[in-house]
Amino acid sequence: MTKVVPIKINDYNFVDLSCFPKELENMWVHVQKIKNSLTISCIVSFYKNDDFLPGTVIESSYTYHRYPDAYAMYGLKTETGIYFGVRAYTSPRYRRRGWWKWLMFILRDVLYNNFEMMTEVSADRNKVLENIYKKSLNMGNQVYNKYFNDGRMLFPEKEMPRDSGYPYIWYNHRIGGKIKEG
């Protein structure tokens, strides 16, 4: 298992990872900075394929040509300097694998230390995301920072919209959902 050591950088909580998380297998990361959007600033896509070596992080102004296996999307910078997540998605093919607690570490570390973006999970998170968030905090020995949650927790949605945010769209042969047996 990948070792996690809590650290502080500029008084903010981060973690040192012993390696790119083994739990994410052969995953690489595509960070798309969005300009001229009134709602989103950044889309971080995670791919489990051989297009790049595991642990590769691509910074780009473009949308990748394949639909991500997981992604997180961030809103515009707030007055407090924080970019809040506005959406998190995992392909139905890869759900229930415990990816997100590791993805959260990568997101927070890389976005701050490489791209100077201080991020936090969505303030409007649902119960699933809330539980993953708490697990990540426990692993990183960090204190639960309760940003106001203004609603979605009470209205959990089963599926996120498939497109990231018009006109930023992944056009591909993409998996929609698992076919129910019987």
Partner 1 sequence: MRKNAHKENIIFEKNRKNNLISFSVIDPLNVIEDIEKIKENRENVYFFESGNKADFLYKRSCVNDLSFNYFQIYNKKIALCLNEISKEIKQFSKQSDTNTEKTHYYISSEYEEEFLEDFWYDTGGISSPSYSGYWFLKTNNKASITVNEVKYDVGEGSLAVFEAASKTLFSGIESGISFNVSTLSKIEGQYPQKWMPLILV
Residues found near partner 1 in the complex (CB under 8 A)? 32, 34, 39, 51, 61-67, 86-87, 92-93, 124, 150-152, 155, 157, 159-163, 166-179
Contact 88, 65 (CB under 8 A): no
* Smallest separation, CB 179 to partner 1 (Å): 6
Shortest approach of partner 1 to residue 10 CB, angstroms? 31
Smaller CB distance to partner 1: residue 54 or 109?
54
24 vs 124, beta carbon nearer partner 1: 124
* Strands, sheet with 82-90, edge to edge from the N-terminal-most edge strand: 57-60, 27-33, 40-48, 70-77, 82-90, 118-120
- CB nearer partner 1, residue 9 or residue 169: 169
Closest distance of CB 5 from partner 1, Å: 34
Which string of b and e fits 101-120 if b means at least 16 CB within 10 Å? Answer: bbbbbbbbbbbbeeeebebb
CB of 62 to partner 1, least distance (A): 5
**Residue at token pair 């203004």:** 150
Q: How far, in Å, CA of 73 to CA of 52, rounded? A: 21
| Closer by beta carbon to partner 1, 4 or else 86 | 86
Whole-angstrom Cα distance, residue 38 to residue 41? 8
